[in-house]
Chains A and B, each alone.
Chain A
Amino acid sequence: MKLRNWHIDGFGVFCGARLPEPGLGDGLNLFLGPNEAGKSTLLDFLRYTLLGYPGGRASLPRREPLRGGSHGGTLIYEADALTCHLHRRPGRVNAFQLRDQAGTAMTETDLASHVGHISPEVFRNIFGFSLKELQDLDSLSQSGVRDLIFAASIGQSAGRIRSVQDDLQKQADTLFREGARANAQAPPRLVKLLADLSEQERRLAQATEASRSVAAKVRELGTRRTALGEFDRQIREAELEIQRLERLTSGWPLWVERRQAEDARKGLSDAERFPADGDAAWATRKTEFEKAKADVRLICDKVKALREELNGLPAEFPSLPVSAQVTELAAEKADYDVAVRLGHEAETRAGQAREGWSQLSKELGADWPEEAVRSFDVSLLAEDDARRLANAVQEARNLVVSTRTTAANLAREARALSTDCALKVKQLADLNRSGPLLAPEQLAQQRLQLGRFREALRKREGLRGECDRANNHLTQVKLFMSRREPAAGLVPRWLRPALFIGGAVMVLASVGLFLVGQQAAAALGLVAAALFAGIGLLLPRARPAQAAVDAAPELSAAQRRHEEAQQAVEKQDVEMKAEAAQHRFAWPMTEEDLTQLEGSITAAERRADRHHALLNELGELRNKKAGRRGAFTTAKRDLKEAKLSFSSASQAWTDFLRNRRLPETIQSETALAVFGKVKQARQVLDDLHNLTATANQQRGTSNAHLTRLRSCLEQANWPTEEESGKLLAAFEQLQQRVVDESQQSEHRRRRLEDLAKAKKDLKDAGKIARAKRGKCDEFLRQLGVDSEQSFGGLSQRSKRYQELSQSINAKDTGLKVIFGQSGPPAELQEAWDSGHRPDWEAQKSSRETERTGLHGERDQGLQDIRQLEIEIDGQLKSDEVASLQLEAESLREQIREGVLDWLKLATAQELLGQTREKFERENQSPAIEEASRLFRLISGGRYERITIPLDSTDLTIVPQTGPMLSLERLSRGTLEQLYLCIRLGYIRHYQQQQRVALPLLMDDVAVNFDTERMAKTFELLGECCRNGQQILFFTCHEELVRMLQPEHKLFRIRNFEFEAAAL
């Protein structure tokens, strides 16, 4: 690829800038410009256009246009025998365009092929290098220089590989380093984790061991619990002994008191037989006896009171024998009262019914006497028949009315329609009078005629125009001929044509006359025409002059034409004249004639339309009238039928009345109401009858009751009365008397019963009292006393005896409380008998001391048991083992993860190292050879070659004479030259390997060189150019111009424009 030219649309400081033709050369192209002239901008333009603009995230400058123009530009280059125009701008829309010189579009693939598929990074770092890289050499170590040189060989930016290697190493070292120890200050993570895991496993083993000891602890717990039981037994024994001694101590006083009481009781032996409840028993018996005596006295008093009461009561009751009868008649009296009341009610209601009948009778009138009402059929069937027949009469009446009304309406409508028809007829007559009525065909024909007239007039105008033109032409011809030709012959020249014309006119006239029916005149005309024609033929022809002869044809033609035109006009006139005459118009018609004709046609059309409309309306009216009349006829027929129906319904009604023997004055429309009233009246009469009968019946019943009451009074020898009221009063008195005597009798009877009962009770109470007395005596006898006083003394002794016995019992109880149900031990008896009491207190004290000791030992054992239980429970609930296991597993997993991460890093390092080694091995040798040659050249042979041993990382220089030199031994300038040569060497090697030739862009790389070095450098660059390398060298140093060779090119950058300069 060789760059030729460019056009910068807008890029940084450049706007519309291009190189002057013929553009760039194949070799060295020097661009000279001051600082800030845009050299770096131009470099970026070339890189971006060739290889693409940087993306949004890149930190490279985008070089937005500062002086206008659209961002981007075009690069012209030669590659693969093509001259290509590469247009590129940032963004994605229309960003790339590549065409060859023929305008054929090419793709990015083609471009990639032209640039040897080089990446922007590689291109930048191989083919475009700057001053900064050389400046960086100063600060780099040996390995840094080597890296730089190595990076130069691979197109990577300086230090990138080393940076990656260092990063990987650093990451790996944070994980693991061979020989690192956990106790170092910042140990690698895996080493620390291993140490932590070891510690964790140790703790886990301890915890597991502790967990395993639970079983032993459980066994120990059982042993200790057994020992605890033994202590408890011993303590219980000691306590039992202490309790026994306490009992003896506390029981002794009781024992002594008991024995003393027992001895005292022995002296009261006679009181032993006295029962314990002796006093209570005696008191009870005595109390009962006293009570029995009191009961006897009470009953005696009662008997006495009853006797006195009986003496004061009556003994005879004379009214009692009739009490049954009176009782029986009481019901009779109640029945009488009821009968009187019912009778009264019936009479009252009968009176009301009577009044009701009177009212209804008035309303019904004379047609309805009582017999008629009573004989009225109130059955439902009759009512239904009446309703049905009355409704039929009413419906028939209604039908008659409606049909009559309908007929009247129809007749009225028909009359109105007749009036309308007459009016329409009159309108038609008026219309007919107003003007002739033409048929539509006639009107159409008239329209056509009018059109023909107009057309004919237009045509006539046209013909006339033609005629005038022909005439003018003829006149001209004649005039021409008249100027040249001599005088004509005897026969005037006009005579012959005049005759012919006249003949033609006659012919036309004849035709016209023939059309209008004047055949004779037409024949005459034809004859005249023939005559004229003949004469014209017979007349000698004037011999025209030569000029006239020459113009004769034209004259003839003009004449012929004129004649034809005239004939046409005349012909038409003839035709149209007759036609116009038919319409009473002269021909030619004027515009006013046409307007008039049109007006008349229009008027005729209006009349015709009006006539048609009137006819239609008349027709409709007539149709309606006919319809109405038909309906009227039907209505009349219906009316007749309705009248017949009404008549038959009325007759049926009348027959109904007659059959039912009802007044024939009953109208059907009011019949139902009348029948309702009659029915009601009938009901009232029935009620009146029933009520009257009821009243009579009740009257009879009450009289019968009175008779029986009277009889009863007579039987009771009671004064009777005739008057019913007094009779009843007397009966009531008797009734009351009977009641009173019954009560008194009953009272007396009860009192006699009470007296008998009281006597019996008195007898019983006496028996009871005697029995009680006997018991008291028996009781005393049993006790061996004969009197109550003796009984008292025995009782006293018995009390004392009881007291002593109670005391003894209490002591026994106390002893049992102390010594249990088995009673006091034999020791007490022995001590009593011996009269010597052992020192039980001392024995007790001794045993208490022993017990205290046992408690102490037991408490200790209990504490030990609790401790064991806590430990066992803690172990059972403890999650220490689980926690430690979890932590241990967590550590193991972290270690596994770390190992995996370290392996990944180490693998990447190994891969990177092997790749670098291989790459160096494959790429360095030929490149270094080339670099050595160039270095030898640029150093003037001072340095022979450059070496990089494979097993060493050091780069050494072999001078022409002397030992090998390391980089530190080189001066700054030499180092830069070395770097330049290595770079150029790699470039050469790269291009050879990739079979690509790309331009080299150098930005002020020789600024630090002295003149001699610069000259050598340019010589070197020239050598490269001779080998086909195109170089674009950017500088601000004027002196470099002198070093250019004639085949080189110089461009100056001024005001952001490029100027070709001569060397």
Chain B
Amino acid sequence: MIPFCFIHAADLHLDTPFVGLGKIDGMLQQRLRDASLEAFDNLIRTAVERHADFVVLAGDIYDGAERGARAQARFIAGLRELDRNGIACLFIHGNHDPIGEGWSALRPEDFPASAVLIEQCDEVRAVPVRRDGQVVAMVHGISFRTRKETRNLSRLFPAERGEEQFHIGLLHCNVGGQAGHDNYAPCTLEDLCNRAIDYWAIGHIHKRMELKHGGPVVLYPGNVQGRSFDECGPKGATLVRVGAEGHVELEPLALDVVRFAVLRVDVSKCRSLDEVLAACEAESGRAMAEAQPRLLLARILLHGQSPAHRDLLLAEAQEQLLPALRDRLPAGGFWLDRVIVDTVPVVDRAEVARSTGFEAALVKLTDKVTASDQEAIQLLEKVQAPLLTGRRFEKLLPELGPESARAMIQGAEARLLGLLETESGS
């Protein structure tokens, strides 16, 4: 077998909008708008620099049919760049850009010759990949016809080995019913292992996961660019090297230009806002160093039993906390989206419960309500009722489960204890 290497990427979601970001300024908007496209450019550049033999894209090239022509133009430009460097690109479509429902201002005839769209939706198509006239691998792939593909497409892949080459399976699917993602093209790991495929280049799950390390290799490379605070950490693709004996080596490639991070800052030892700011600054500096040279979008979660709890609540109520942090934290290459104050006052809750007074009554009431899922949810539903009038916030309300209700109530208790805290003796 001839050794070769290729890049496996998926879920480009070109021109995807970022979600979960608050108000952002114009310069940052510009960078975020172009982030998915720049990450794609990084993918192309990396393929050229690392002399990859070919690139496979496992679906969701575009984010959706309504995302505009810019993404398509950029994609074709990338394919042409690969073609100029003699690098083939084989790709399929997924649930975000299904063959039947997508639209195209740019025709497949505009693709360069080395770019192969596997647009079959009912059968698997095998495409040989050549180098210097010799076949180095066979790529088998299938696309989504519609968004809600419920068939187990893995069963359409060949079960018996034909040519003695390295076989790559290109599939957009949900292996093992991964939570947090639509269960399209569901299959199991066993389904994949039972096919005559040496390497499964799959897509759909945005988190990089090596489901199997060999016999065959099953890999979700993750998406190329994170889009929200649910997709924190490095994002990119995977460089796959196949040796003469068929041994596979994987190398993660970080291609993202914008990175998300939730920074948990323990402020238990911070006695003042200034110390809190200093702690945030230190944590931000560390995160920035790790993410460089990318733009880091961060949220800071302040937690712990802190003497500065009340000050934090007041600063948050006066909407001063976020501006104060933004002034203190680095400006270039870093954007603080929001600050979440999740601290609790320095009180011995059990001691308060044992004492008398209003605080004790508050603590006891909180314990009573949170002890029962039903009571907790009822309280939250009662609180939430005004928002439901007119259904304006219908799609924007958080999901109310027992855990989230309890957390909300306990957070309210901590807020009240902090606000009710007054100057007392030593």
Contacts and interface: CB of A to CB of B under 8 A. Distances in A.
Interface of A: 47-48, 51-55, 57-60, 90, 117-122, 154-157, 160-161, 164, 167-168, 171, 176, 178, 190, 194, 207-208, 211-212, 214-215, 218, 872, 875-883, 885-890, 892-897, 899-900, 902-904, 906-908, 910-912, 914-916, 918-919, 922, 990, 993-994
A877 B73 contact: yes
Given A215-B105, A875-B105, A883 B23 contact: no
B405 to A, nearest CB: 9
Contact of B387 (A48, A51, A889, A902): A902
Interface string B70-82: 1011000000000
Given A890-B22, A915-B361, 19 more contacts: A54-B423, A117-B355, A121-B422, A122-B356, A155-B358, A156-B420, A161-B358, A875-B68, A876-B73, A878-B68, A879-B33, A881-B15, A882-B33, A896-B20, A904-B415, A911-B366, A912-B362, A916-B358, A919-B358
B23 A894 contact: yes
Interface string B167-192: 00000000000000000000000000
Contacts of A887: 29
A903 B23 CA distance: 20
B67 to A, nearest CB: 7
Classify chain B: how many residues form its interface, as a range: 35 or more
A894 B22 contact: yes
15 contacts: A58-B425, A119-B357, A154-B357, A154-B358, A156-B420, A178-B389, A211-B66, A212-B103, A876-B72, A876-B105, A878-B70, A886-B29, A896-B396, A906-B384, A911-B379
B113 interface: no
B265 to A, nearest CB: 19
A51 B68 CA distance: 70
Contact of A879 (B34, B384, B409): B34
Contacts of A60: 423
B177 to A, nearest CB: 27
Nearest to B408: A907
B426 A119 contact: no
A734 to B, nearest CB: 91
A693 to B, nearest CB: 88
Contact of B17 (A118, A120, A154, A882): A882
B424 A120 contact: yes
Interface of B: 15, 17-24, 29, 32-34, 66-70, 72-73, 103-106, 317, 338, 354-358, 361-362, 365-366, 369, 379-380, 382-384, 386-387, 389, 392-393, 396-398, 408-409, 411-413, 415-416, 419-420, 422-426
A732 B355 CA distance: 154
Contacts of A875: 68-70, 105
A904 B412 contact: yes
A994 B68 contact: no
Contacts of B423: 54-55, 57-60
Nearest to A210: B68
Contacts of B73: 876-877
Nearest to B414: A908
B379 A120 contact: no
A919 to B, nearest CB: 5
Contact of A215 (B18, B103, B365, B384): B103
Contact of B338 (A190, A897, A899): A897
A985 to B, nearest CB: 16
B398 A900 contact: yes
Given A53-B426, A90-B426, A877 B70 contact: yes
B17 to A, nearest CB: 4
A895 B426 contact: no
A993 B356 CA distance: 9
B426 A52 contact: yes
A549 to B, nearest CB: 102
A919 B361 contact: yes
B70 A876 contact: yes
Given A889-B17, A903-B383, A208 B68 contact: yes
B20 A893 contact: yes
A925 to B, nearest CB: 15
Contacts of A161: 358, 420
Nearest to A881: B68
A190 B423 CA distance: 35
Contacts of B382: 910
A102 B380 CA distance: 57
Contacts of B422: 121, 156-157, 160
B21 A893 contact: yes
Contacts of A51: 425
A178 B415 CA distance: 24
Contacts of B365: 911, 914-915, 918
A904 B316 CA distance: 12
A176 B420 CA distance: 24
Contacts of A893: 19-22
Contacts of A176: 386-387
B409 A911 contact: yes
A48 B426 CA distance: 9
Contacts of A903: 380, 383-384, 387, 398, 408
Contacts of B356: 117-118, 122, 990, 993-994
Nearest to B423: A58
B19 A889 contact: yes
Which 7 pairs of residues, A with B, have the shortest CB-CB distance?
A52-B425, A885-B17, A881-B68, A908-B412, A214-B105, A120-B425, A154-B358
B426 A54 contact: yes
B287 to A, nearest CB: 21
A314 B68 CA distance: 117
B426 A164 contact: no
Nearest to A191: B392
A882 B393 contact: no
A119 B19 contact: no
Nearest to A122: B357
A207 to B, nearest CB: 8
A53 to B, nearest CB: 5
Contact of A882 (B68, B366, B398, B426): B68
Contacts of B384: 903, 906
Given A156-B358, A889-B19, A896-B398, A48 B425 contact: yes
A882 B18 CA distance: 10
B96 to A, nearest CB: 14
A915 B362 contact: yes
Contacts of B24: 886, 890
A207 B33 CA distance: 15
A54 B387 contact: no
Nearest to A912: B416
A478 B382 CA distance: 136
Contacts of B386: 176, 178, 906
Nearest to B341: A904
Nearest to B67: A881
Nearest to B338: A897
Given A214-B105, A876-B73, A911-B365, A167 B21 contact: no
